[in-house]
Amino acid sequence: MPEDKSQKANANGQSVAASNNGQWTKHGEDSTSLFVPRLETEIAGVQFQNPVLTASGTFGYGQEFAHLIDLNRLGGIVVKGISADPMPGNPPPRIYETEAGMLNAIGLQNVGARAFLKEKLPFLRTLKARCVVNVFGYATEDYVNCIDILNAGEGIDAYELNISCPNTRCGGMVYGSDPKLTEEVVAASKRASRFPLYVKLSPNVTDITVFARAAENAGADALSLVNTFVGMAIDVETCTPRISNVTAGLSGPAIKPVALRMVYQAARAVRISVIGLGGIATPEDALEYLIAGARAVQVGTANFYAPDTAPRVIEGIRGYCAGKRVHLADVIGSLRVPGEQGTKASEY
């Protein structure tokens, strides 16, 4: 039988109402008027006003959503992947809806680093939300060249290194699927970086902790995980792939339990901060990641069908903290694992 979530108890044994459209309140009083939780979080020296960011590849360059939500309410915006030179992306079809998710193989279409600095960054500089630039390449020097160009940009707060790319110099081996390649590209990118370097890990590995430690040892300032899972779909009438690239990245609610497990494992394996993502659509989804040890979260696929998801998640986290009379820092890593005492999940 599903758990009855109509009522829970906080750490002091006081009755707390569970989520109601993302709002939590203590029974018998409007706790939000009595207690104002602090939602600020810090990741590798970057201060975020709240722990909710939008994920790369799902939110364009930010400005595309300015008419839909107040971007200044966000903790941060992770812009779509940027390469040193512009890229046209893959031919269509490149998106396909699945049960509880979607497949995409956009092909990392982007304007290129120089055009990003000139055309996109000026708008992002005007926002309260922090600007994190996702960077990718197909050889280690590609990452370094892109970062060298972006280092001139004022208003960039951090880089997010997408290592789920094939290394064309190593027979197409994906950087994020080989610990030595992970260390190579992270170390080279860190040496080149003017700003803190967050490394986005691939979930398509046997042991996520091996790659979390490899990135940390190579100089990563923080980790974000997970990227999409490799999947595919077939049209049985035409016997052809639903995606022109044949395989594609699976995202959305379907991946959340596996992504959450990986975030929990990574947070326990490293000393650097972890950002959790994968299937977040509600405040409760985000809170699960935070309780598992993530210091922040990213909303991704939900932006396509409910652009107001990130602001709703922020307010839901605020209501949860107010109802339990705790600050965000008290929530992070607060998972209670049977048989373990005295160590929060975010501590190692």
Instruction: Tell me the pLDDT tens digit for each residue of 154-170.
Output: 999 999 999 998 776 77
The token duo for 343 is 């160590």
24 has a pLDDT exceeding 90? no
pLDDT band with cut points at 50, 70 and 90 for residue 25: very low
Least confident segment among 6-10, 73-77, 135-139: 6-10
Does residue 116 contact residue 110 with C-beta atoms inside 8 Å?
Answer: yes
Does residue 302 contact residue 254 with C-beta atoms inside 8 Å?
Answer: no
Instruction: Tell me the pLDDT tens digit for each residue of 90-128.
Output: 999 999 999 999 999 999 999 999 999 999 999 999 999
Structural domains of the chain ordered from first start: 7-331 (3.20.20.70)
Mean pLDDT of the chain: 91
Q: For the whole model, what pTM was predicted?
A: 0.90
29 has a pLDDT exceeding 50? no
Span 12-32, average pLDDT: 45
DSSP annotation string for 177-196? G-HHHHHHHHHHHHHH-SS-
Instruction: Tell me the pLDDT tens digit for each residue of 294-306.
Output: 999 999 999 999 9
131, 146, 165, 321: which is the annotated catalytic residue? Answer: 165
Pick the closest to residue 250 from 298, 203, 199, 296 (CA basis): 203
Does residue 236 contact residue 255 with C-beta atoms inside 8 Å?
Answer: no
11 has a pLDDT exceeding 90? no
- In this prediction, residue 346 carries a pLDDT of 53
The token duo for 160 is 């997010």
Does residue 259 contact residue 292 with C-beta atoms inside 8 Å?
Answer: no
13 has a pLDDT exceeding 60? no
To the query of whether residue 321 is one of the catalytic residues in this protein, the response is: no
The token duo for 309 is 């998801």
Instruction: Tell me the pLDDT tens digit for each residue of 318-331.
Output: 999 999 999 999 99
